[in-house]
């Protein structure tokens, strides 16, 4: 009780005296961890959103490996621009400034329009003709004041035939022009390949890479941030010790894996009364490297 828990963020210190079960629950709770690259992407998205309407709107492509924090960033951005339900807005019309959809696998225009209508909560029949859905999409995006369309899993475009790919890329170009809103594509390097196959799109999508992590200052800062929000009673010194390198190699530089390793080790630290993460704990979590896991899966 008398400890000042200087290794913890001030807002987290009061949790350090809680019992094990409630701290384990807190450790496992989803939270946003800020880091420089993510903040830069959020600022670029903010910039796009305030861009004045013109015929050719700039677009952005967030590119990175799977499980590396891409969806977390666009979700955080969407939450920061929540809009309003019909009952809450002044004129009784729902507002959706940022609409986020996933490119459906095996994509075609009908499914893509369906995904947009779903995201806005607009009922439609899967049997509606493509032109009907297209009209509905444009009408509802205008009336709900959509100012940005985010398309996650954009690499799914490549799961369609060459003909379908072409039609979808044309459609994206058309939609951006018609609504005069910026498009934000999110996906793996394959998404970039898809965009590059279209001469006109490639000039309009500015790529923002979210690469794998390496052992540098930003990584060490991330470890500090994480350590400060996990209510362990003792400091683990993740950033200053060999633990950092260990975590990085166990997770092969993938952000989602790094966070998962640290969370499991932190839970272990509470369960064993050790109250700090050690190399032993990282081994104890029985963690399987992402590449080994893929081998097991096949």
Ligand X SMILES: Nc1ncnc2c1ncn2[C@@H]1O[C@H](COP(=O)(O)OP(=O)(O)O)[C@@H](O)[C@H]1O
Q: Please enumerate in sequence order all residues whose Cβ is within 8 A of that of 130, keeping only pairs 6 or more positions apart, or say none.
A: 109, 110, 113
Q: Closest separation between CB of residue 263 and Mg ion, Å?
A: 19
Q: Is 97 in the site for ligand X (CB under 6 A)?
A: no
CB-nearer residue toward ligand X: 99 or 222: 222
Cα atoms found within 13 Å of the Cα of residue 270, Cβ hemisphere only:
22
**Half-sphere exposure at residue 209, Cβ-oriented, CA atoms within 13 angstroms:** 4
Select the residue interacting with ligand X from 181, 255, 269, 281 (CB under 6 A): 255
Burial 117-126 (b: 16+ CB within 10 A, else e): bebbebebee
Only segment of 63-71, 91-99, 166-174, 254-262 that touches Mg ion (CB under 5 A): 63-71
235 makes contact, choosing from ligand X, Mg ion, none, with CB < 5 to 8 Å by partner type, with none
Residue of 38, 61, 63, 71 interacting with Mg ion (CB under 5 A): 71
Residue 102 sits in the site that holds Mg ion (CB under 5 A): no
| Summary count for the chain: helices (H), strands (E) | 14, 5
Nearer CB in complex with Mg ion: 71/285 = 71
Sheet holding 183-187, edge to edge: 98-102, 148-152, 183-187, 59-63, 205-209
Residue 293, interface with ligand X (CB under 6 A)? no
Binding mask 31-70 for ligand X (x = CB under 6 A): xxx----x-------------------------x-xxxxx
First-residue to last-residue Cα distance in the chain: 50
Instruction: Determine the Cα–Cα distance for residues 87 and 92; give it in Å rounded to an integer.
Output: 6
Enumerate binding residues for Mg ion (CB under 5 A): 71
Enumerate binding residues for ligand X (CB under 6 A): 31-33, 38, 64, 66-72, 255-256, 259
């Amino acid at each position: 009780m008398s400890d000042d828990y200087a290794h913890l963020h001030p807002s987290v210190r009061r949790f350090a005296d809680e019992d094990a079960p409630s701290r384990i629950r807190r450790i496992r709770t989803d939270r946003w961890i800020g880091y420089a690259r993510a903040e830069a992407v959020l600022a670029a998205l903010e910039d796009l959103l305030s861009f004045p309407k013109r015929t050719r709107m700039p677009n952005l492509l967030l590119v990175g490996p799977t499980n590396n924090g891409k969806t977390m960033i666009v979700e955080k951005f969407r939450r920061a621009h929540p809009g309003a339900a019909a009952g809450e807005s002044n004129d009784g019309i729902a507002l959706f400034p940022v609409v986020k959809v996933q490119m459906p696998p095996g994509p075609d225009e009908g499914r893509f329009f369906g995904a947009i209508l779903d995201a806005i909560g607009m009922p439609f029949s899967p049997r509606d003709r493509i032109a009907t859905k297209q009209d509905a999409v444009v009408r509802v995006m205008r009336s709900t004041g959509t100012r940005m369309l985010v398309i996650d899993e954009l690499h799914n475009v490549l799961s369609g035939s060459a003909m379908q790919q072409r039609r979808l890329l044309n459609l994206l170009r058309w939609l951006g022009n018609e609504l005069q809103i910026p498009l934000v594509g999110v996906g793996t390097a394959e998404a970039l390949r898809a965009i590059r196959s279209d001469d006109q799109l490639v000039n309009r999508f500015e790529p923002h890479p979210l690469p794998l992590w390496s052992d540098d200052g930003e990584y060490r800062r991330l470890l500090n941030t994480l350590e400060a929000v996990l209510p362990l009673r003792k400091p683990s010194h993740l950033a200053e010790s060999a633990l950092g390198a260990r975590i990085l190699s166990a997770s092969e530089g993938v952000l989602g894996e790094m966070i998962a390793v640290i969370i499991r080790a932190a839970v272990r630290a509470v369960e064993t009364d050790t109250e700090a993460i050690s190399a032993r704990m990282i081994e104890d979590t029985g963690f399987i490297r992402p590449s080994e896991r893929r081998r097991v899966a096949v």
